[in-house]
Structure 1
C-alpha cells in the first residue's frame, strides 16, 4: 500500500484548488509538513555529531548532581539521533505494511529516548531567568539538543500519522486540494467547565509547597527547617534577581509557578486566544496559536514527569518501601525532607499536569482548518 502524499508538493495540490491569479508559492511556515522531516533529520545529525565529539574527547557533560554522562551513554545518544534522522526521512516516502509498523515503533521508542531529559527544562529556565547564570554550558547544549530532537520528531510523527489516516498533514482534517493555503481559525471560546475544574484542582497541589517556602523566607520555621538557616542559604547560594526577590520574601521558584499559573489561565480562557484590552497595542488581535502551546507543552511535560517521580518516591517512603532520607542541608530531620519531597511532587506534578490538560483543550479549541477555494 502506498501512503498518501503531501498534496502541497504536487502540482495539483499547488494550483488545482486555488482561485485564478492566486500565488502558487505559499509562505514556508504554511508548508511545515513538507520540511519538518528534513529539519528533524538535520537537527538529529547535528546532535549525533556533537555527542560523538564529546564522547571521543572525553568532554564532561553533567547528568545529575556530581555525575557526568559516560562516553558509552553519549555514543548511545548519538546512535539514537542517527536513527531519528533515518526514521524522519523514511516516514515521507511510500512504505509497506512492515515499514509502517517499523516506523511507528521507532517513533514510540525514540521520542521517549530523547524526551527523558525534558524535566530539566523548567529548572533551567528558572535559573536563567533569575540571572543565576549557567552551571554548565555542555549541560545546557545537551538539553537543547535532546529537546529539539523530541519536539521535531514529535512533529514528524504527527504528520506521518495524519497521512496514514488520509488526512491533511497540516490541519488534520479530511479534504481535497491544497494543504498550504490560508487557514480558518475558530471563534474564541473558553475551555469546558470540566476541563477548568480539573486544572484548578490540580493547581491546589502548589499550596503546601508555596506555603512552606513563603514561611521560610519570612523567617518562620516549618517541617524541621529554621527560617533563619534557609535565608542564609538563599543569600549565599543565590545571585541576581533570585537574591533580590528573596530579600523581600519572594522565592524565585514560587514566582515561576505564578507565571505557570498565568500561562494556564490563558489556555483556559478566551483572553488566551484574543489579546485582551489590557494588552495594548495588540488588543483584539488573535494570539498566535503556538505562542502559549509550545511553552505549555514543554514546561508541562517536564514538570509532570518530575513531579510524578517525586510523588511516587514520597509514597514509597511513606509505605516503607524506600528508606527515609538522612537530613541534609538546612533540614534537621529526615521526615521533614521526606515531606518536602512530597510537597515538591504535588506542586510540580500538579502544575505540570494542569498545563497539559489546558494545552490539550486549547489545541482542540483553536485548531484551524484549511480554506479551500470553491
Structure 2
C-alpha cells in the first residue's frame, strides 16, 4: 500500500470524467431552465402543479403554469450558474459552503417538491411490462432528478478539488478513519439490515390484503380494491420490493462480492463494483422520493378523510428510512471494495 501520494495535476484544457460531470450538470440545468422560461412565456406542455396529469400528487396542486413556471425557471437557471462555477478550473471567490449548499438545496427542492412516487411506480411497472403509466410529467421528473443528481456529483468533485483531496476517490492525507474498509464494514452492516426490515414491514400489509385480511383498510376501500384486483397488483409490487430488500444483504455478504457457485458461467468471479452500487443507489433515491411524497401529502391534509385507511398510506411514510439505510449500506460497500485509486494511487492503509 502507498503511504502517501499527491493527487496528479490535471492536464490543462483536457477533459476527464470528473470535469465532464460538472459541465454536463450545467448544460442539463440550463436546458431545463430555458424550457421553463418558454413555459413561463406561455408555451404549451408545462408538466407540474395544476397542469400535472395528476395534480393531486403535486406539491403545488393549485398553481398553474403562469405562476409556477417563472419561479422554477429562475431557480433552474440559478442552479445552472452554480454548476458552471463549480465546473470551471480553479477556485472561486464565492465560499465553497455556499456553492455546495446551493447544490444540496437544489436536490432537496426536486426531491421534496417536484418528484414523487410515480418514478418508482413506473420502474416497477416496467418490470411487469406495463407501460401505460408513463406520461409527460414522469419524464420531466426524471430529467429533473438526473440534472440535480449531476449537480450534487459536481459539488462533491468541487469540494474535493478545493480541499486538496483526490477528485476521483476523495482520499487525502486527512481522510477520516470511518471510510476505511474495516470501519465501513461495521456501520454498513447495521444499515443493510435496517434496509431489509423496512420494506418487509411495508410488504406485510400488502400480503395481508391479498390473503384476505383488510389490515388498515375500511370495508368500503377493501371491497373496491377486491373488485378492481388492486390487491393483486399491490402484492406483486410489494413482493418485488421484498425480493429487492433481500438483495441488499449482498452488500454485506460474500455472495455480494463473488458470484456464488450456482451462477453457471459467473461463479467464482468478482462482482463488478458498479453492478451492485448503481442499482442500489438508484433504488435508494427512488424510495426516498416516494416516501417524502407521502409525508408531504400527509402535512398537506390529503389523508385527513382517510384515517380509517391508514394501511394505504402510513407504511409508505417510513420509506425514507429505507432509502437512507440503503444509501448508507451502499456507501459502505463502495468504501470496502473500491481498492487502490487509479488516479492518486492511494488505497487501504495510506496515511
- How many residues were matched structurally? 319
2: distance between equivalents of 1:312 and 1:52? Answer: 27
The answer to whether the 8 Å contact 1:44/1:85 transfers is: yes
1:57 is aligned to: 43
CA shift in 2, pair 1:163/1:210, >3 Å = same
CA shift in 2, pair 1:308/1:225, >3 Å = same
Q: Deviations over 1:93-131 (max 9, x none)?
A: 333543535423432332323343454332231233323
TM-score (norm 2): 0.75
1:213 is aligned to: 206
TM-score (norm 1): 0.71
1:125 is aligned to: 123
The answer to whether the 8 Å contact 2:184/2:335 transfers is: no
1: distance between equivalents of 2:311 and 2:336? Answer: 39
CA shift in 2, pair 1:271/1:104, >3 Å = same
2: distance between equivalents of 1:103 and 1:305? Answer: 23
Query: Which structure 1 segments of 5+ residues have no match?
Result: 15-27, 176-186, 236-242, 328-333
The answer to whether the 8 Å contact 1:216/1:228 transfers is: no
CA shift in 2, pair 1:368/1:76, >3 Å = farther
Shift in Å at residue 272 of structure 1?
A: 2.2
- Selected match of 1:284 from 263, 268, 276: 268
2:89 is aligned to: 93
Shift in Å at residue 139 of structure 1?
A: 0.9
2:144 is aligned to: 146
The answer to whether the 8 Å contact 1:267/1:358 transfers is: yes
2:156 is aligned to: 158
1:36 is aligned to: 21
- Selected match of 1:78 from 48, 58, 73: 73
Shift in Å at residue 312 of structure 1?
A: 8.6
2: distance between equivalents of 1:305 and 1:283? Answer: 35
Superposed counterparts of 1:1-374, under 5 Å? 7-10=9-12, 31-55=16-40, 56-63=42-49, 65-66=54-55, 70-71=64-65, 72-91=67-86, 92-116=88-112, 117-120=114-117, 121-135=119-133, 137-174=135-172, 192-193=185-186, 195-201=188-194, 203-226=196-219, 229-234=224-229, 246=232, 251-307=235-291, 310=294, 325-327=304-306, 334-335=307-308, 337-346=309-318, 348-371=319-342
CA shift in 2, pair 1:342/1:221, >3 Å = closer
2: distance between equivalents of 1:354 and 1:95? Answer: 34
The answer to whether the 8 Å contact 1:60/1:138 transfers is: no
1: distance between equivalents of 2:102 and 2:95? Answer: 10
- Which 10-residue stretch deviates more, 63-72 or 40-49? 63-72
Secondary structure at the aligned position of 1:192 is classed as helix
Q: Deviations over 1:158-189 (max 9, x none)?
A: 110111110111122238xxxxxxxxxxx998
Secondary structure at the aligned position of 1:370 is classed as coil
Larger radius of gyration: 1
The answer to whether the 8 Å contact 1:163/1:169 transfers is: yes
Q: Deviations over 1:261-320 (max 9, x none)?
A: 144122222322333333332333333323332332232133235436646987x89xxx
The answer to whether the 8 Å contact 1:36/1:156 transfers is: yes
Secondary structure at the aligned position of 2:314 is classed as helix
The answer to whether the 8 Å contact 1:6/1:169 transfers is: no
Query: Which structure 2 segments of 5+ residues have no match?
Result: 1-5, 174-179, 346-351
CA shift in 2, pair 1:98/1:192, >3 Å = closer
RMSD in angstroms over aligned alpha carbons?
Answer: 3.8
